[in-house]
Amino acid sequence: MVDTAALLAAYDAQMRMPSGAVPAGMTYERDGPVLRIVGGHVGRIRAPRDVGMTGAELDRLIARQRDYFRARGEGVEWKLRAHDLPADLPERLVGAGFVAEEPSTVLLGFAEQVAAEPVLPDGVVLRRVSEAEDLRRVADLSSAALGVDCSWVADDLGARVAADPDQITILVAQAGERVVCTAIAVREPGTEFVALLGGATLPGWRGRGLYRAMIAARAREAVARGFRLLHVDASAASAPILRRCGFHEVTTSTHYQWTPPA
């Protein structure tokens, strides 16, 4: 039996705050218990499981983050897990004007158990990319696959690569000249974890094993680099595949978004 409580404890201890190089063009600012990430597509707030505040003090902390990004004319997201404290933090975020997105399932896997030789459809090859033109293609595919504007992804990935190219792996599955699937692995220095991000597949290529192949390839690299655990914030579509690959659910995560008035 897998000790999911121990997995969750490792996640809480190691994956709450970014541990690697600060991406180019961004700054990290502390405000009490929270970390404010400035300079990206939107502002981001990261926090420990228990922010250690309640009532009016907590309301002031939330309002400061909202008002900081309001003054910049930017939106901000606060990432919250289902087991976070205090229990009324979701209601207080909503009271401050934040809106909850659909929750994701937080799944953790043991890299050695997930690692395998990627099995790809005929004619498809995997490439590791980092050049600006390839990152633009990754962003374009994300926009096409998800149905929203992901043009900002190219700059975000470029900033991560510029900060520390050894911390991130960006993979594309390519059929001829066409990129049909993308996936990202971010290695968290000083932790046991590799975060698996950015999986996107063009609609006509879904159901052909590409996502599973990307999982296997990134897990194999994690093992080679000495990382023990894999982390995914999974959509409803991805979670069943990850469970079949050996991942275990430990909690859910929800982004609470505040958007400045038009």
Rounded to whole angstroms, the Cα distance separating 220 from 203 reads 26
Mean pLDDT of 113-132: 96
Residue at 1 is within a domain: no
Rounded to whole angstroms, the Cα distance separating 138 from 8 reads 31
pLDDT in tens, 215-246: 999 999 999 999 999 999 999 999 999 999 99
pLDDT in tens, 70-112: 999 999 999 999 999 999 999 999 999 999 999 999 999 999 9
Q: How many domains does the chain have?
A: 2
Same domain, 115 and 57: no
Same domain, 37 and 75: yes
Same domain, 119 and 216: yes
Same domain, 78 and 117: no
pLDDT in tens, 20-55: 899 989 999 999 999 999 999 999 999 999 999 999
Give 165's pLDDT tier (boundaries 50, 70, 90).
Answer: very high
pLDDT of residue 20: 86
Residue at 206 is within a domain: yes
pLDDT of residue 199: 86
Q: Any idea of the CA torsion for 222, 183, 118, 228, to the nearest 10 degrees?
A: 20
107, two tokens: 């799944």
Give 19's pLDDT tier (boundaries 50, 70, 90).
Answer: confident
Mean pLDDT of 108-127: 97
Residue at 37 is within a domain: yes
Q: Residue 262 pLDDT > 90, yes or no?
A: no
Same domain, 117 and 97: no
Give 139's pLDDT tier (boundaries 50, 70, 90).
Answer: very high
Rounded alpha-carbon distances, angstroms, from residue 27 to 21, 101, 205, 232: 11, 25, 38, 24
Which amino acid is it at 95? Answer: G
Residue at 52 is within a domain: yes
Residues making up the chain, counted from first to last: 262
Residue at 6 is within a domain: no
Mean pLDDT rounded to a whole number for the chain: 96
pLDDT of residue 133: 96
> Which residue range is the domain that position 96 belongs to?
15-105+254-258
